[in-house]
A and B are shown apart, each in its own frame.
Chain A
Amino acid sequence: MYKTIVALVTAFLLTTTLAACGAEQSGGGMSGGSAENYPEQPLEWTIAFGPGGGNDIMSRTLVDILKKEKLYPKDIAVENKEGGSGAVGWGYVFSKKGNPYHVSTTSGSFITTPLQADTGWTYKDFTLVGQLATDDSLFVVPKSSGITKWRQWEDQAKRKGKVTVGGIGTVNVDFILHAQLAKQAGYKIDYVPFNDEGQLLTAMTSGSLDAVVSNPSEVLGQVSGGRMNAVLFTGKEALPQLPDVPTANSLGFKNLVATPRGLLLPPDVPDNVRDWWIETMKKVGKTERWRAYLKDNNLIRDEAWGDDFEKELDATSKRFERILRAHGAIK
């Protein structure tokens, strides 16, 4: 009796494994469907980060708009695939070569993760739809420093010889920005990397740091609450909430990096599908809801489609690579 059951279960296991493997293989081939009638299948939307973060909020907003405005006729399934600084989620989309029913969104890690780890893909491998906005950074100093203008900061930094600045991570936008600003302005920095925003902010309030760069959403409260002064914003235009804070461009800084907020498809997706998505995202970009999202999350509209987007990513990636290599963070 016992042996029979075990044998049966084992046989069942084996056959289903084989069946599953078979299904997997055949699944890859028929994935495309006919490209003319796109879209005619449900969409799988992968978020390469956990719930609640910037990438997650943007993805869910986009999906919401696509559904509400009936821009995507079929169902959209959203899934968070977190891990390895985005490597897991984007790796999953990468594995869906040629399948037009997978979508994901970009972050800074879309460029940095392949630079520092052997992910098996880079941004070049994907079918890039376009960038809708950039997530820029605010450069803030403690109120107690008495500094209110970028000039004062520069003078103080040069006078001190070296300033201690902080941000999140090392292979990350924050560090690159500090390095770019210091180099172009001509002062020296000691960069202190942090793992999370809470510790970064308390390090600042405790008087350990001379300045930090941070996402506006995270520090606007500190600025309006009078604990920190914002002296520079890296976006193309000034932040609506802080119109008096000068942009980096207006102060003469060039080529500062930002987190690209865009859309991507798996590798080798037909051109007409990409064009369909470019048209659709242009429509999304015009909706009231998207405008509200940009405003609430302090993003700056900066659209670039298809090949233009790829060119921007090329340039950003090169900047990252050069600075990180000089710093010894990547080999």
Chain B
Amino acid sequence: MTALTPVTRRRWRITPLTAFLLVLLAVFGGYAQMAMELEWRTEAGRIGPGFFPRLIGLAGMVLCAAAVVRNVLRPDTEEAAPASRHRGALLLVVAAQALVLFTLVPLGAVLTCVAFLFLVLELLDRTRPLLNLAVSVLVPLGLYLLFNVALGAGLPQGPLPF
């Protein structure tokens, strides 16, 4: 699966890894910026709340920058990840997860999970709708019973009566 041909056609290409590292660099930058606002030593001269955040933020920036430079100069050192034909499926699942986050409390655990399971199951394998339906109804119900009835760990109930 892995194409081992080095990617050396264009030298100064921004690879996905470089982009990811740049994002990390920015995050560490913001983190370090906030760390500068915390005191790095206390009045008594001991290590303050900002001491480690500053170290972490600065080290993170330096290392990310180093990694970016290494990748821009020598993109061939980057391990070639498999080119995926499944980005769409991945994005849809992540989007469905985000939806779960917002519907879990208002709709309750059972309804949300039934809907999520069914949608994702259909997305991944459309050949067996009956099996998908069975799984997406039985699993949330079973889990709800286990958590709420047996363990007493309250899952959100939603509009359903149970």
Contacts and interface: CB of A to CB of B under 8 A. Distances in A.
Contacts of B3: none
Nearest to A327: B43
A16 B107 CA distance: 7
A21 B44 CA distance: 53
A292 interface: no
The A interface is mostly helix, strand or loop, or mixed, namely helix
B30 to A, nearest CB: 21
A20 B119 CA distance: 21
Interface string B109-127: 0010001001100100010
Contact of B159 (A9, A16, A190): A16
Contacts of A23: 159
Contacts of A30: none
Contact of A21 (B106, B118, B119, B154): B106
Contact of B107 (A2, A13, A79): A13
Given A13-B103, A23-B159, A79 B122 contact: no
Q: Is the interface of B mostly helix, strand, loop or mixed?
A: helix
B29 interface: no
Contact of A20 (B43, B44, B106, B115): B106
A19 B154 CA distance: 21
A16 B43 contact: no
B6 interface: no
Given A2-B126, A5-B122, A17 B115 contact: no
A24 B126 contact: no
A293 interface: no
A225 interface: no
Contacts of A5: 118, 122, 129
Contacts of B111: 13, 16
A20 B43 CA distance: 53
Interface of A: 1-2, 5-6, 9, 12-13, 16-17, 19-21, 23-24, 79, 190, 328
Interface of B: 43-44, 103, 106-108, 111, 115, 118-119, 122, 126, 129, 154, 158-159
21 contacts: A1-B129, A2-B122, A2-B126, A5-B122, A5-B129, A9-B115, A9-B118, A13-B103, A13-B107, A13-B115, A16-B107, A16-B158, A17-B107, A20-B106, A20-B108, A20-B158, A20-B159, A21-B106, A79-B154, A190-B44, A328-B43
